[in-house]
Amino acid sequence: MAATTRTKKSARKPWHGFAIEIGPDTDLGGDGLLMYEYASSGYIPVAAVSTPNEAQEIAASYKPEVTGRFRLWARGIDGRFLTVPVVIDGHRR
What percent of the chain has pLDDT above 90?
40
Closest CA to 49 of 70, 80, 27: 27
Distance, in Å, from the CA atom of 81 to the CA atom of 74, rounded to the nearest integer, reads 5
Residues 40-79: pLDDT tens digits? 889 999 999 999 999 999 999 998 888 999 999 999 888 8
Distance, in Å, from the CA atom of 21 to the CA atom of 31, rounded to the nearest integer, reads 15
**What's the predicted TM-score (pTM) here?**
0.76
What does DSSP assign to residue 38? E
Sort residue 37 into left (φ over 0), alpha (ψ -120 to 50) or beta: beta
